[in-house]
Structure 1
Amino acid sequence: MKQHLIVLDLDGTLLTDHQKISEKTKMTLFKAKEAGHQVMIATGRPFRASQLYYNELMLTTPIVNFNGALVHHPKNKSWQTVHTPVDLKVVHDVVDSVDKYQYENLIAEVMDDVFIHLENSPMMDMFKMGDPRVTIGNLRGSLNEDPTSLLIHAEEDKVQIIRNHLEDVHAELIEHRRWGAPFHIIEIVRKGLSKAVGISLIAKEMNIPRDRIIAFGDEDNDLEMIDYAGIGVAMSNGISQLKSIANEITTSSNNEDGIANFLIDRLKL
């Protein structure tokens, strides 16, 4: 069988709800690699929060982090890293404009440095994964360089209101996507970026055509990736909007080896 590029989102896709890779899924991905296929991760997470899974799968491929704002190769330092941050002035404008809305917190990340607007224990625990340098304080004063991404944490019923505002006021300069549970978060990256942008760059380097890219996702930030891939696969636990554009939907969820079951059937593993 011709070589395929298998692209894996993490949360709600590769990972179970307990943030683990199931043994069946792991073994299936190892078999796929042994059969000559390439396996990579494309996630909204920073690398420090995805490195554990990258290593667990023994990957030797580039990775897409921050929904396309960082594309790099952890195993090959000569590979050209692509880092595309948001302009600091735009971030300040966004921070000022959302002040009138009720949000829980703002978090900016500059690669592996984290800037947290308000001290908040649950959020602190989440963003300390990988032991980054953390700065707490008003982003207007503490953030002085272009961030890789900006996150707005809000109650679930406020998320769409804030996203509508971002679309009305800042659509020409930023992309914004929604995370799901446990925290309802709006992620902001530079305009034009998505997981698909990073995947297309990597696939070109590997000389793998679009029709042989199998991408798995479940959420809002996977829309472009699933649309781009020749075989865009929505998880059965994914959002309805993603399922509506996917080529296929897994027969089982992230907690039930959805990826493994699909690949065993599709790639005859």
Structure 2
Amino acid sequence: MNNKTHLIALDLDGTLLTDKQTVSERSKKIIQKVRELGHIVVIATGRPHRASLDYYNELNLDTPMINFNGAYLHHPTDQKWKVLHSPLPLRTAKSIVQTCYDMEVQNIMAEVLSDVYIDRYDTKLMEIVHTSKEENPIQIGSLKNQLKEDPTSLLIHPRDEHIVELRKNLDRDHASVIEHRKWGAPWNMIEIVRKGMNKAVALQRIAHYYHIEPNQILAFGDEDNDLEMLDYAGVGVAMGNAIAELKAVAKHETKTNQQDGVADFIERYFQINDK
């Protein structure tokens, strides 16, 4: 560790958040202390921005935020900050929807920034959406008919027994135009975004904005949607509960999300006195 300003990128599910989807008091305290030391903390998640803003505000952040695994980069508190939005082509999205119909997945959701489309009414997906019916009414009905614009992302709720087959089909038919990633616990979901979009691409833009070199970046994650980000960061940290592939890429490993692994590593790395 040195005294230069660092950029700290935090995944949410399975990383900063406990299994109950909360930020522990210890994590909040350590994140506040590292920010007081002059370091920059950003959220980098596969979640849509609506499902991340409560955590952003809880941490009192004033930085850009990465959503949809890099397909949407924006600044919640600075409207002048240039937004990066890279949606999927509509034709590709509708082809994937048809593949999902053919395989009889449990459900499919599409997001066009703040607009939400769900193929069939589903309380599990509604919980993920985190939206106000007044501000962002959810449109329920066949995505093949309802979806008229390029979506920021598609979210597939597969049946457990066909996840591998579904991902093989996505590779076979759409590998040149999409990225597909599996969400970590507690959601069993596959998210699809435009090819070339990942957390590392967005994080690189944030680092450039703050004039921070990769070796001054800490990134924390637990799933395959964090692979590029941890590989890009000079200090890539896999959670104790991370998948094996991520641990192989990461330069460091910390405790699990249930053991405040993010806070524990930051505290030790920056030699913070947690008193």
State the TM-score bracket (shorter-chain normalisation). over 0.9
Residue 102 of structure 1 is matched in structure 2 by 104
Gaps of 5+ in 1: none
| Distance apart, 1:183 and its partner CA | 3.1
**1:210 maps to 2:214:** yes
CA separation in 2, counterparts of 1:136 and 1:203? 38
Gaps of 5+ in 2: none
Alignment of 1:162-201 (within 5 A): 162-201=166-205
Residue 66 of structure 1 is matched in structure 2 by 68
**1:268 maps to 2:271:** yes
CA separation in 2, counterparts of 1:232 and 1:74? 25
**2:96 partner SS:** helix
Q: Deviations over 1:51-105 (max 9, x none)?
A: 0110111111101000001001111111100111111111011112332213100
Larger mean CA deviation between 152-161 and 36-45 belongs to: 152-161
CA contact (8 A) 1:49 1:130 kept: no
Identity between Structure 1 and Structure 2 (%):
49
Within the candidate set 253, 257, 264, 1:254 is matched to 257
Alignment of 1:18-167 (within 5 A): 18-129=20-131, 131=133, 132-167=136-171
CA separation in 2, counterparts of 1:220 and 1:102? 24
| Distance apart, 1:130 and its partner CA | 5.2
Computed over aligned residues only, the root mean square deviation of the Cα atoms, in angstroms, reads 1.1
**1:5 maps to 2:7:** yes
CA separation in 2, counterparts of 1:79 and 1:126? 27
CA separation in 1, counterparts of 2:131 and 2:224? 23
CA contact (8 A) 1:104 1:153 kept: yes
Amino acid at match of 1:46: P
Q: Where does structure 1 differ by over 4 angstroms across 4 or more consecutive aligned residues?
A: none
Q: Deviations over 1:178-197 (max 9, x none)?
A: 11333321110001000001
CA contact (8 A) 2:19 2:186 kept: no
| Distance apart, 1:201 and its partner CA | 0.3
**1:204 partner SS:** helix
**2:103 partner SS:** coil
CA contact (8 A) 1:84 1:190 kept: yes
**1:175 partner SS:** strand
Q: Deviations over 1:6-49 (max 9, x none)?
A: 10000010100111111111110111001010000000111111
Amino acid at match of 1:68: G
CA contact (8 A) 2:183 2:223 kept: yes
Larger mean CA deviation between 117-126 and 149-158 belongs to: 117-126
| Distance apart, 1:129 and its partner CA | 4.0
Amino acid at match of 1:45: R
Residue 243 of structure 1 is matched in structure 2 by 247
Residue 234 of structure 1 is matched in structure 2 by 238
CA separation in 2, counterparts of 1:130 and 1:219? 29
**TM-score, normalised relative to structure 1:** 0.97
CA contact (8 A) 2:10 2:219 kept: yes
Residue 228 of structure 2 is matched in structure 1 by 224
CA separation in 2, counterparts of 1:95 and 1:45? 20
| Distance apart, 1:133 and its partner CA | 2.0
Q: 1:37 to 1:128 in 2, by over 3 A?
A: closer
**TM-score, normalised relative to structure 2:** 0.95
